[in-house]
Amino acid sequence: MIIKNLSIQIIFISIIIGFISNFGSNAEIISYLTFLKFEITSYNNIGTYSFSETYYIYNEWWRLLTPMLLHFSFTHLAFNCLWIYILGLRIEEIDGKIIFLSLVIFSSILSNIAQYFFSESAFFGGLSGVVYGLIGFCMIREFEASKNIYEMPPALYLFMIIWLFLGFSGVLDLFGFGSVANFAHLGGLISGIIFAMMYLIIPTKKI
């Protein structure tokens, strides 16, 4: 069976990685996907390489993207996959697979970079940065067109923006949501807005 939708492919890969990595508990698996290269040293300690070592010495540039495939709980995975399914399929259908894939890559890289440089932690993951990228893209597209292109209730956009602010406020920590990659969310939203503006300026063809 060939899965033609890129959104479904991303969801499928994320689910597989989620389970084979035991949602981040299998260090050997996630060591190939984290933003920075790391190794398990003696006594189960983790030795993390620097940014320059990871990217300029070992040339492991795929790590700019792969943190989006890491999830640290089933809830984390399910929530993100639901949004990718809802928004991703609509963007693929309306704007084409090339635009969708480009948006995913762009928002993933920028959200991961933002999370690393502003939080100073290399151990993060999830599709939420990409989700916010899709949201930012859809909001700008609909605002410019003055119509509900993607048939998304405005209340859902508002909910995700409020969720972003709640993350930065620390309220989510109080309710046991754990460590939230707030800068990845913000970076994703900004990248989606930027991508939408480029999309509107540069002529594109649906593919």
Q: Which residues are catalytic?
A: 128, 185
Residue 92 has phi, psi (to 5 degrees) of: -60, -45
The DSSP code sequence of 80-124 is: HHHHIIIIIHHHHHHH-HHHHHHHHHHHHHHHHHHHHHHH--S--
Query: How many residues belong to the chain?
Result: 207
Q: How far is CA 70 from CA 23, 52, 144, 195, in A?
A: 7, 22, 34, 24
**If you compute the radius of gyration of the chain from its CA atoms, what whole number of angstroms results?**
17
- What does the angle CA 88 – CA 81 – CA 33 come to, to the nearest 5 degrees? 105
Q: How far is CA 32 from CA 4, 56, 108, 149, in A?
A: 26, 16, 17, 38
